[in-house]
């Protein structure tokens, strides 16, 4: 019976993954809704749903049901992400011998447009590192900085310790053509960077054969490479079971899309991304079209 494992799963996410209270509430709601769907479909109390009913077919039917209910792709993706994470936990605890929903795909966006993650997926990804460990503190800071600033991975690995201004919550980055720009840091990224610099970076630095000016260091005390950042990202993508290929540039796409969805103007986003041409930034306006339609539907007097 799988339903009884929800509480221990949430405890795992809270203690070991430092998931926020909002994420935990969303997980509980999404998982409960899935079990209610199975209970109604198979005429079985949700507390008695056997593991055999959690499979590729039942999850696909659940997604079809959500679509019929008019739920957005973002909501469907969130619910599926929560379910995937729960299944991965069950596999880890040997409740399930294998992942029965590994082949279920996340509802995708138009392939011609930049791919991005939804806010709940970003939350899951960023909170995945174990911040009780030295490497986990670094990895959390890496992910927080990528998403908070929208910088390119090449810009991230090029940051030196002196480029970080914790007092003013900004970072100086060198973009294409070696052009410099100042990018603000959010509260959460500032907190993660402070912890990393004070508690973790000094540990990595001790292992170096010579001093490094780099902000982000590997286990040998040397500057992290582009490949290292990709490996770090891939590790946590697999851990939270997003079931899609995620690269560092997707965090940049997510940064821009989420800013525009929340009312930022295009010129400001252009400056933050370091785009020379506004037309380069305008591609993200296509990703916000669904949000614009929702605003129109909710506010126009003759909708």
Interatomic CA distance for residues 303 and 299, integer angstroms: 8
Q: Which of 152, 201, 223, 258 is catalytic?
A: 152
Can 56 be counted among the known catalytic residues?
Answer: no
Q: Which of 4, 92, 176, 179 is catalytic?
A: 176
Can 275 be counted among the known catalytic residues?
Answer: yes
Interatomic CA distance for residues 117 and 245, integer angstroms: 11
Q: Which of 14, 28, 249, 286 is catalytic?
A: 249
Can 303 be counted among the known catalytic residues?
Answer: no
Can 252 be counted among the known catalytic residues?
Answer: yes
Q: Are strands 180-184 and 164-165 parallel, antiparallel or unpaired?
A: unpaired
Can 42 be counted among the known catalytic residues?
Answer: no
Can 300 be counted among the known catalytic residues?
Answer: no
Q: Which of 134, 129, 133, 21 is nearest to 145 (CA)?
A: 129
Token look-up 């909708």 returns 303
Residue 240 CA, chain-centre distance (Å), reads 9
Asked if residue 83 lies in contact with residue 31, where contact means CB atoms within 8 angstroms, the answer is: yes
Q: Which of 79, 115, 201, 252 is catalytic?
A: 252
Interatomic CA distance for residues 151 and 252, integer angstroms: 6
Q: Which of 17, 223, 253, 275 is catalytic?
A: 275
Catalytic sites, residue numbers: 152, 176, 249, 252, 275, 284
């Amino acid at each position: 019976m799988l339903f009884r494992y929800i509480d221990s799963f949430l405890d795992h996410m809270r203690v070991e993954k430092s998931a926020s209270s909002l994420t935990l509430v969303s997980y509980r709601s999404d998982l409960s809704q899935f079990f209610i769907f199975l209970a109604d479909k198979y005429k079985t109390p949700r507390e008695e749903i056997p593991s055999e009913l959690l499979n590729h077919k039942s999850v696909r039917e659940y997604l079809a049901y959500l679509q019929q209910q008019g739920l957005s792709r973002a909501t469907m993706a969130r619910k599926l992400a929560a379910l995937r994470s729960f299944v991965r936990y069950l596999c880890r605890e040997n409740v399930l011998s294998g992942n029965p929903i590994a082949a279920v795909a996340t509802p995708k966006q138009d392939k011609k447009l930049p791919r991005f993650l939804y806010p709940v997926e970003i939350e899951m990804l960023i909170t995945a590192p174990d911040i009780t460990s030295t490497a986990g503190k670094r990895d959390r800071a890496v992910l927080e900085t990528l998403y908070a600033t929208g910088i390119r991975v090449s810009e991230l690995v090029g940051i030196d310790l002196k480029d970080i201004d914790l007092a003013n919550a900004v970072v100086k980055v060198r973009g294409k053509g070696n052009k410099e720009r100042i990018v603000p840091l959010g509260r959460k990224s500032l907190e993660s960077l402070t912890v990393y610099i004070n508690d973790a970076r000094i540990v990595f630095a001790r292992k170096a054969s010579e001093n490094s000016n780099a902000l982000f260091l590997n286990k040998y005390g040397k500057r992290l490479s582009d490949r290292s950042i990709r490996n770090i990202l891939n590790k946590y993508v697999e851990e939270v079971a997003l079931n899609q290929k995620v690269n560092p540039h997707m965090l940049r796409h997510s940064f821009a899309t989420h800013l525009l969805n929340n009312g930022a103007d295009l010129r400001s986003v252009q400056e933050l991304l370091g785009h020379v041409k506004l037309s380069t930034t305008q591609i993200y306006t296509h990703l916000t079209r669904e949000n614009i339609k929702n605003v129109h539907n909710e506010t126009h007097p003759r909708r």
